[in-house]
């Protein structure tokens, strides 16, 4: 388990590095090396660390451990073929983690980042729609059952493409520098993570690596099915590159527009699943 955890963290950070590199090359910048996020994590691990005088100390520190804990649990669920509903729950609870990061420091920048995270709760609804659409077809929410279903009936990507689009939008809303990245936009310095530095930021980087790995792995397993491990990794890189293209070519939306568009997408997806439910 430790080996898988370390691999997931480092590969997730590598994917985020590839994301930055691709965005930079599309925008005709040289960009950082692809291992930059790994270097960030290592660098922050050895920097001076303290807790701000205005912070709610236990929460300020504890929320970092919660962030790593929930995504470690998510990785365990993926590896054991557990329930997709647990992944959904952890994804939603990540909002509380971002909120906790932002509010615990006492800083207005962190606070605005945390609040923006909560107001963009509409971005979670497409994931629930994905879960509902999958349940209609596979009659199970266990990832192992969903993979087994696809071995018999073919990839769900072909059966319910709009549910795959919904999940893709969910991935997009969690990628940095994307159209929905309002929680860490530059007018808020670094948003909810502004005041977390040193070891706390290193912990946050570990969480980001795990989160990226788990979400992309979930997307591949749920919509494409079982593949050899090296092919899953290649597929994760390809999905990341496609997300980077979207992020590089679309402007960051204002908080109001971001929430409006996410709500519209969520509404369309709910209608789609209602239609699927009636037809089945």
Partner 1 sequence: MNEIGGAPLFFLEFGDIVIYFTPFTLTLFLLALVFSVFVLVSRPERQIDIAFGGDAYYAKEISLSELRFRRFMSIACGLACMGAMVTGDVFDFTLFVSLVGICNVGIVAAVRSRHVQNAAYQYGLVALAGTVPMFAAAAMVAATTGTLSMLELAKGTATVPVAARALLVLGVMGEGMAPFYAAKAEMFRAPGAPYVIMCSLSSLLIFLRVAEVILLI
In the complex, which residues of this chain contact partner 1 (CB under 8 A)? Answer: 53-60, 62-63, 66, 70, 73, 77, 82-83, 85-86, 88-90, 92-93, 95-96, 99-100, 103-108, 111, 114-115, 118-119, 121, 128, 135, 139-142
In the complex, least distance from residue 104 CB atom to partner 1, rounded to whole angstroms:
4
Q: Which residues contact residue 76 at a Cβ distance below 8 angstroms, ignoring those fewer than 6 apart? A: 1, 82
Q: Is the dihedral of CA 28, 33, 34, 36 positive or negative?
A: negative
* 199 and 45 Cβ atoms separated by less than 8 Å: yes
Q: What angle (nearest 5°) sits at the alpha carbon of residue 117, between those of residues 189 and 42?
A: 55
DSSP 69: H
| Cα Dmax for the chain | 59
Nearest Cα to 233, choosing from 50, 51, 14, 22?
Answer: 14
Contact call for residues 5 and 75 (beta carbons, < 8 A): yes
Closer CB to partner 1, 93 or 237, in the complex: 93
Q: Find the shortest distance in angstroms from Cβ 51 to partner 1.
A: 11
C-alpha closest to that of 78 among 151, 129, 124, 143: 143
- Closest distance of CB 109 from partner 1, Å: 10
Rounded to the nearest whole angstrom, what is the least distance from the CB of residue 115 to partner 1 in the complex? Answer: 5
> Between residues 72 and 244, which has the closer beta carbon with respect to partner 1?
72
| CB nearer partner 1, residue 140 or residue 159 | 140
Minimal distance, residue 37 CB to partner 1, in Å? 27
Q: Which is nearer to partner 1, 114 or 225 (CB)?
A: 114
Q: What angle do CA 80, 82, 84 make, to 5 degrees?
A: 135
* 211 vs 201: CA distance, rounded Å: 15
CB of 216 to partner 1, least distance (A): 21
Residue whose CB is less far from partner 1, 46 or 256: 256
Nearest-approach distance from CB 118 to partner 1, in angstroms = 4
The CA distance from 17 to 235, in Å, is 16
Indicate the residue among 20 and 111 with the shorter CB distance to partner 1.
111
Residue with tokens 């980042």: 113
Nearer to partner 1, 19 or 193 (CB): 193
């Amino acid at each position: 388990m430790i080996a898988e955890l370390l691999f997931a963290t480092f590969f997730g950070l590598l994917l985020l590095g590839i994301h930055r590199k691709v965005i930079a090359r599309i925008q005709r910048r040289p960009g950082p090396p692809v291992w930059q996020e790994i270097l960030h994590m290592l660098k922050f691990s050895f920097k001076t660390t303290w807790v701000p005088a205005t912070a709610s100390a236990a929460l300020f520190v504890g929320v970092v451990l919660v962030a790593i804990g929930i995504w470690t649990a998510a990785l365990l669920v993926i590896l054991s073929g557990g329930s997709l509903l647990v992944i959904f729950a952890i994804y939603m609870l990540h909002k509380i983690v971002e909120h906790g990061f932002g509010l615990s420091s006492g800083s207005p920048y962190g606070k605005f980042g945390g609040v923006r995270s909560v107001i963009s709760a509409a971005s979670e609804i497409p994931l629930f729609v994905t879960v509902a659409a999958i349940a209609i077809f596979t009659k199970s929410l266990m990832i192992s059952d969903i993979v087994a279903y696809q071995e018999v009936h073919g990839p769900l990507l072909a059966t319910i493409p709009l549910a795959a689009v919904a999940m893709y939008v969910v991935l997009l809303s969690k990628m940095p520098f994307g159209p929905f990245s309002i929680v860490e936009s530059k007018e808020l310095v670094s948003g909810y993570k502004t005041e977390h530095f040193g070891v706390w930021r290193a912990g946050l980087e570990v969480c980001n690596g795990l989160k990226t790995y788990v979400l992309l792995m979930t997307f591949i397993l749920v919509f494409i099915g079982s593949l050899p491990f090296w092919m899953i990794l290649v597929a994760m890189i390809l999905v990341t590159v496609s997300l980077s293209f979207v992020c590089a070519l679309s402007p960051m939306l204002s908080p109001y527009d971001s929430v409006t568009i996410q709500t519209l997408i969520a509404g369309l997806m709910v209608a789609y699943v209602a239609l699927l439910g009636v037809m089945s």
